[in-house]
Structure 1
Amino acid sequence: MKTNPYAVVDQTAFPLITVTFTGERGTNASFKSYLKELDDCYFAQQKLAIVFDATNAVVPKISHQILQAQWLKENITLMEDYCLGTAYVIPNKTMRWVLKMILLLQKQPVPFEIFSTYKDAQVWTWSQIQNN
C-alpha cells in the first residue's frame, strides 16, 4: 500500500528548493523518504537555499524529531559547504516549538530565519542566494 508523502521536495526553481510538508502524519517509511530527498538536494554539490513550508505540517513523532536532528548532525559539513540559508514558514506556535526542540538536539549549521508567510521566506531565501 502506497502512503502519501510526508513532504514534497521541489527543486524546479534550483538553487531555491522548497520543501512543503503535506499535513500527513509521518510513517517511518515516509519520513525516511523525506530525509533521502533532502540528501538528494545536495547531489549536484552546488550552492542552494531551502524554504521549509510547515504551514500544513503536523507535529512529528519524537522519534522523527530525533531522526531530523541526526540528519542535521550527519550533514553539517555538506550544509556548511553548499546551503546558503534555510527559511522556515511556520505560522503556528506549536510547530515553532517543535523546531526549537529539534534545534536544541542539533544546532542549525547555516543561517536561518522563521517566517509566518511563504512570500517572506522566499524573499529572504533569494536574498541569501544573491548575496553569496
Structure 2
Amino acid sequence: MKTTSYATVDQTSFPLITVTFTGEKSSNANFKAYLKELDDCYFTQQKLAFIFDATNASVPRLSHQKMQAKWLKENSVLIQEYCKGTAYVIPNKTIQWVLKMILLLQNQPVPYEVFSTYKDAQIWIWNQIQKN
C-alpha cells in the first residue's frame, strides 16, 4: 500500500528548504516519513532555514502533534546549531492554533515567525539567512 505524502521537502534552493504540506491527513506512516525527511535536511551539517507552507495543511492527529513536539525536543541542539530560522505560512486560524499547541509542548529552538503569505515568509527568512 502506497502512502500519500503528508508534506514535500524541497531542498533545491538550499540553504532555504521549503516544506509544503499536501493536505493529506496524517497517518503514522506518512508523518514518520515527513519527520525522517526533516532529519535528512541536517545530514550535511550546514546552515539552513525553513519555510513551512501550511496553506493546504490538514490538522494532524494529536498523537502526531506530540510526535512533532518530541522531534523538536530530541533535535533541539542540532536545530540550534544549524537552523537560522523558521517561517510558517499559515493563513488558516485552526492550523495557527495547532502550531501554538505544538510549541506549548516544546519551544521552537530558533527564531520563527508566522505569516499569511508565502512572499512575506520568503522576505523574512532570506533576512534570517543573511544574518551572521
Q: TM-score range by the shorter chain?
A: over 0.9
Cα separation, 1, equivalents of 2:58 and 2:105: 19
Code of the aligned partner of 2:122: Q
- The aligned runs of 1:1-132 (5 Å cut-off) are 1-132=1-132
Number of residues paired by the alignment?
132
Cα separation, 2, equivalents of 1:125 and 1:65: 24
Unaligned runs of 5+ in 1: none
Query: Which ranges of 4 or more aligned residues in structure 1 deviate by more than 4 Å?
Result: none
Secondary structure class of the residue paired with 1:12: strand
TM-score w.r.t. the length of structure 2 is 0.99
Secondary structure class of the residue paired with 1:2: coil
Between the aligned residues of both structures, percent identity stands at 75
TM-score w.r.t. the length of structure 1 is 0.99
Secondary structure class of the residue paired with 2:13: coil
Cα separation, 2, equivalents of 1:55 and 1:8: 13
Q: Once superposed, what is the RMSD of the aligned Cα atoms?
A: 0.5
Q: Give the superposition deviation at 1:5.
A: 0.2
